[in-house]
Amino acid sequence: MTALTARAPERTLGVLGGMGPAATAEFLRLLAADAPAVTDQQHPRLLLLSEPGIPDRTAAILSGDQEPARRVREGLRTLAGWGADLLAVPCNTAHVFLDGFAAASPVPVVDIVDATLDEAARLSPDGGWLAATTGTVLSGLYQRRAAARGYRLLLPDGGTQQAVHGAAERVKAGRAEEAGAAFREAVGGLWRRRRLPVVAACTELPLAYRSAGLPAELMVSSLAALSRACIAELYRSVPVRS
């Protein structure tokens, strides 16, 4: 992230992962890469609860099932009980449920939606394509947050949205090459309409985008945005030296 180094933060980051495991693993890699550290001892302390058993978030949104909300809340409480001072959930669709109770959390939660939109606005003030699970799109979570800040998000049509969601599912299934091919075709269709950056608002989609071999400068990764936001918050009050 920077050539500067810092002492380790005093606060501990709790990560509720497993939604899905590959995205969580990439998030942990990014945290290590983004930290302004050159020794083990300068990295932040992390607590990981990987809970892949949380029910499918899109299916729950479509059916009105609130079980994911209960399980996410339970997972965050567990991490706080373990000693986490800051929380992160590297799953955008989980934030549809988290949005209802994050403000009441006794431990602050770094919001992946705000972090992603912050980076999207910096990269492309003219707007971007929302690439997310069908559950996230139907919830309107990103659209509401973007509208509140005056940022324009374009939505894929029905068939393209299905292809985007399918690419995320293929990453979850460990079929990265197929995910990349599906996502490359979907993004190509979007860019034929308007060449704006893809806002990858599903944590599997940066992995699909990478497998697709598409230009890195035309993608906003929600995983990378969350990692950078967590590192900025953790090291905010830590003296940095050259």
| Contact present, 198 and 190 (Cβ < 8 Å) | yes
Q: What is the DSSP string of 57-92?
A: HHHHHHHT--HHHHHHHHHHHHHHHHT-SEEE---T
The helix (H) or strand (E) run that includes residue 40 is none
Q: Give catalytic status of residue 230 as yes or no.
A: no
The candidate with the shortest Cα–Cα distance to 112, out of 214, 8, 230, 33, is 230
Q: Which of 202, 208, 223, 234 is catalytic?
A: 202
- In the block, tokens 């399980």 appear at 71
Residue 3 CB-density burial (10 A; 0-12 exposed, 13-18 middle, 19+ buried): exposed
The long-range contacts involving 184-187, CB below 8 angstroms and separated by at least 24 positions, are 184/212, 184/213, 184/214, 186/131, 186/156, 186/160, 187/129, 187/131, 187/212, 187/214
Catalytic pick among 91, 117, 182, 212: 91
47 CB burial (10 A radius; 0-12, 13-18, 19+): middle
Which of the 8 DSSP states describes residue 39?
S
CA distances from 221 to 27, 161, 198, 236, 241 (A): 11, 18, 8, 22, 29
Catalytic residues: 91, 202
